[in-house]
């Protein structure tokens, strides 16, 4: 039944039905003739021979209909009724001839008719094309407006009211965003108990803006507020304000806030508000800008809020930098809450939320999974758990194991494994040397995160990958860490040059990342002593201009050459460092390749065994200042906690040293007594 309904919802089906109905109606009203069509000469010949009993002449249509006394054969069929057309302007001659034939007795009777069209027929035939066009327009509009009774309600709001029987999401379902939950908890409390805050003169916030990367839980937080508040909750997307018709966006904004005010206290949630909230005046050319008019109406409605009405606007966006400044000022969006990727504890809590109701093997440690997923958003972690469950079901297992979780992390990072891609042994060896170069350089760099895994299994668009995972969350990077990252990125290219005497296209992505890091160090972070702490280039990205057109070059050509030279120096420095590491530990590189060719994947424990003799390198190109700005010899001040830790460590070392000295004295005394019994060599050895 549902399939039949979906079939009739298609506009093409109704177009065909309307055309068929038009054909049937036209044929119905047009009708057919009982007379056989013949040439004019045949009809005149029958008149002249006297074989005609009666004649009907239709003046307007220039048609002569004859009833014959004797049947004649036309196209092999006998008939006694024929018709023919007569030329225009010959009406008088035809009538005179008919009159003469009647006077001669060869024609019994004749009649002249002036046919008139039916009013209904004319009306239908004239109205039918217009009716078809109107019906098609309504069908298309119905599809664009969501169908149903909303076809002609252009200016009505399309916001969905969350009903009470809707499955509720609460703050207990939200993890990894404690600060945002705390802020929104206050909003819920204000809606439920406004007198508590009004007694202190506090006003309800007019707007709350949730911003952050995709997948961090902005929409989930809004749903949690809706489930917790117990007040009407209107949800709408920013793109729903502006669709097909000009001027409809502002009307929908007015209708939305009228509904919210009528049902106050209420919450209005606008997802992806950047669809209507971008900078005004950024378009090329003038004219009526529908999006700007919608934004203007939104600003007016937010200013017109009743401070005691209890209407709050919650908006979410991934791009707060492109929003109009008038939208972000206090009084409109009083609170702007950042929803970032979760930290270690947040990831642990998110994993526990998504792990509810799923069977796991006894040895599964979700905390270890949290440590292996730095930078993952909440949606990524949910995808990891779901992918692991799907893999377990695919392999007919009853529980999710560490193996499936590890594979799920790899699938989220690099995509599914491409088992159908068959590489030759030579290409496989080149890939192995490339990844082994990455791993060996990363292991030798002093300020780089540990290597977690090395694999030559093809995933997504990569032929293999080396996974470097930090042991803790980091929010900043030092200059030395970035240079080490450059060396790690160029380790694969250096291995190809060293072993095969020519590079391959496999290092294209590595070079792109290394170039971006080096250029950012020079132009954004001021990490070049030659160019100083200056930001070169300004990015003014406008919504309609694009990224490249919005970039301004605010430095001279000489500075551009200096920038290119500094970027090249950084790349060459890191490339040389990677080369020296690979030359020094060439045997280790070969051993890693042999194990990669055999196992295809090497874990951190295997790499630690293979790189046991690899020593950490000294920091490259330390920052020694520039001109008068020389670094101080004084180390950073110690905090009380650090002093206590150092004191405890010193006491532990002292106790260990005392214990070691006592053991040495005891062993010395034992040696002396044994020497007295005649074992002189032992005595000498112990004494030494």
Choosing from 435, 496, 497, 577, the catalytic residue is 435
Q: List the one residue out of 15, 48, 18 whose CA is nearest residue 140.
A: 15
Cβ neighbors of 214 (< 8 A, separation 6 or more) are: 318, 377, 379
C-alpha to C-alpha distance for 289 and 310, rounded to whole angstroms:
32
Q: Which residues pair with 33 in a beta bridge?
A: none
Is 427 a catalytic site residue? no
Task: Report how far apart, in Å, the C-alpha atoms of 401 and of each of 85, 87, 412, 444, 602 are.
Answer: 91, 95, 17, 32, 19
DSSP 3-state assignment of 463?
coil
Alpha helices by DSSP H, 205-354:
218-229, 248-262, 290-303, 325-328, 344-354
Task: Report how far apart, in Å, the C-alpha atoms of 173 and of each of 170, 177, 383, 595 are.
Answer: 6, 11, 16, 45
Element of type H or E holding 452: strand 451-455
C-alpha to C-alpha distance for 434 and 50, rounded to whole angstroms:
108
B/e letters for 514-553, b = 16+ CB within 10 Å, e = fewer, are bbebbbebbbeeebbeebeeeebeeeebbeeeeeeeeeee
At residue 594, what are phi and psi to the nearest 5 degrees?
A: -60, -45
Q: Are 485 and 517 in contact (CB under 8 A)?
A: yes
Handedness of CA 347, 350, 354, 356 (dihedral sign): positive
Task: Report how far apart, in Å, the C-alpha atoms of 457 and of each of 410, 411, 525 are.
Answer: 11, 12, 36
Q: Are 334 and 208 in contact (CB under 8 A)?
A: yes
Task: Report how far apart, in Å, the C-alpha atoms of 144 and of each of 141, 157, 238, 242, 247 are.
Answer: 5, 14, 16, 12, 16
CB atoms within 10 A of CB 305: 22
DSSP 3-state assignment of 252?
helix
User: CA 391, 599, 507: angle at the middle one, nearest 5?
Assistant: 90
Q: List the one residue out of 161, 334, 169 whose CA is nearest residue 263.
A: 161
Handedness of CA 216, 219, 221, 227 (dihedral sign): negative
DSSP code string of 369-420: HHHT-TT--HHHHHHHHHHHHHHHHHTT-SSB-HHHHHHHHHHHHH-SB-TT
At residue 285, what are phi and psi to the nearest 5 degrees?
A: 95, 170
C-alpha to C-alpha distance for 623 and 256, rounded to whole angstroms:
58
Q: At what angle do helices 491-500 and 557-584 cross, to 10 degrees?
A: 60
Q: Are 482 and 490 in contact (CB under 8 A)?
A: no
Q: What is the DSSP letter of 62?
A: T
Q: What amino acid positions are annotated as catalytic residues?
A: 435
């Amino acid at each position: 039944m549902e399939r039949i309904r979906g079939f009739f919802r298609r506009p093409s089906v109704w177009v065909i039905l309307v055309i068929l109905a038009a054909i049937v109606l036209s044929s119905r009203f047009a009708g057919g003739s009982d007379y056989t069509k013949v040439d004019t000469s045949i009809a005149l010949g029958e008149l002249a021979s006297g074989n005609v009993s009666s004649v009907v002449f239709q003046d307007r249509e220039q048609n002569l209909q004859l009833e014959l006394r004797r049947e004649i054969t036309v196209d092999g069929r006998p008939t006694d009724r024929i018709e023919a057309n007569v030329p225009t302007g010959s009406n008088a001659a035809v009538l005179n001839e008919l009159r003469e034939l009647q006077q001669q007795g060869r024609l019994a009777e004749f009649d002249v008719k002036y046919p008139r069209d039916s009013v209904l027929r004319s009306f239908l035939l004239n109205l039918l094309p217009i009716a078809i066009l109107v019906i098609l327009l309504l069908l298309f509009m119905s599809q664009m407006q969501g169908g149903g009774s909303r076809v002609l309600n252009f200016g009505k709001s399309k916001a969905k009211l969350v009903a009470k029987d809707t499955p509720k999401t609460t703050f207990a379902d939200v993890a990894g965003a404690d600060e945002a939950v705390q802020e929104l908890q206050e909003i819920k409390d204000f809606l439920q108990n406004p007198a508590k805050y009004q007694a202190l003169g506090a006003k309800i916030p007019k707007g709350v803006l949730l911003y952050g990367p995709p997948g961090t839980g902005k929409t989930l937080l809004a749903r949690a507020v809706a489930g917790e508040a117990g007040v009407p909750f209107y949800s709408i997307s920013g793109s729903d304000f502006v669709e097909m018709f000009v001027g409809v966006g502002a009307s929908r904004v007015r209708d939305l806030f009228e509904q919210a005010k009528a049902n106050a206290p209420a919450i209005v949630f606008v997802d992806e508000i950047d669809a209507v909230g971008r900078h005004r005046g950024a378009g090329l050319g003038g004219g009526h800008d529908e999006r700007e008019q919608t934004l203007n109406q939104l600003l007016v409605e937010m200013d017109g809020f009743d401070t005691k009405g209890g209407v709050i606007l919650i908006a979410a966006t991934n791009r707060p930098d492109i929003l109009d400044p008038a939208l972000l000022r206090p009084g409109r969006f009083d609170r702007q809450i950042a929803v970032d990727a979760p930290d270690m504890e947040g990831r642990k809590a998110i994993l526990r939320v998504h792990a509810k109701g799923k069977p796991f093997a006894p040895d599964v440690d979700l905390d270890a999974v949290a440590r292996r997923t730095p930078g993952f958003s909440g949606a990524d972690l949910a995808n990891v758990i779901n992918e692991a469950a799907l893999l377990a079901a695919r392999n007919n297992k009853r529980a999710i194991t560490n193996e499936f979780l590890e594979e799920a992390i790899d699938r989220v990072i690099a995509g599914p494994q491409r088992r159908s891609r068959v590489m030759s042994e030579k290409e496989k060896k080149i890939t192995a040397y490339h990844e082994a170069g990455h791993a060996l350089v990363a292991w030798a760099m002093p300020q780089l995160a540990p290597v977690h895994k090395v694999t030559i299994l093809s995933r997504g668009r990569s032929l293999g990958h080396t996974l470097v995972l930090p042991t803790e969350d980091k929010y900043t990077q030092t200059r030395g860490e970035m240079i080490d990252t450059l060396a790690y990125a160029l380790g694969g290219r250096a291995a190809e040059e060293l072993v095969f005497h020519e590079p391959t296209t496999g290092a294209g992505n590595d070079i792109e990342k290394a170039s971006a890091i080096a250029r950012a160090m020079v132009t954004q972070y001021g990490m070049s002593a030659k160019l100083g702490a200056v930001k070169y280039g300004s990015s003014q990205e406008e919504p309609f201009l694009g990224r490249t057109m919005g970039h301004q070059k605010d430095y001279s050509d000489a500075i551009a050459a200096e920038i290119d030279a500094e970027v090249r120096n950084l790349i060459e420095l890191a490339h040389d460092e990677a080369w020296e590491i690979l030359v020094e530990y060439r045997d280790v590189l070969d051993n890693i390749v042999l194990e990669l060719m055999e196992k295809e994947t090497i874990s951190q424990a295997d790499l630690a065994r293979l790189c046991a003799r690899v020593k950490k390198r000294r920091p490259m190109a330390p920052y020694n200042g520039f001109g008068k700005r020389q670094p101080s010899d004084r180390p950073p001040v110690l905090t009380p906690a650090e002093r206590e830790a150092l004191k405890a460590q010193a006491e532990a070392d002292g106790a260990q040293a005392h214990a070691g000295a006592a053991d040495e004295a005891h062993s010395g005394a034992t040696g002396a007594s044994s020497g007295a019994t005649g074992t002189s060599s032992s005595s000498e050895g112990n004494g030494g």
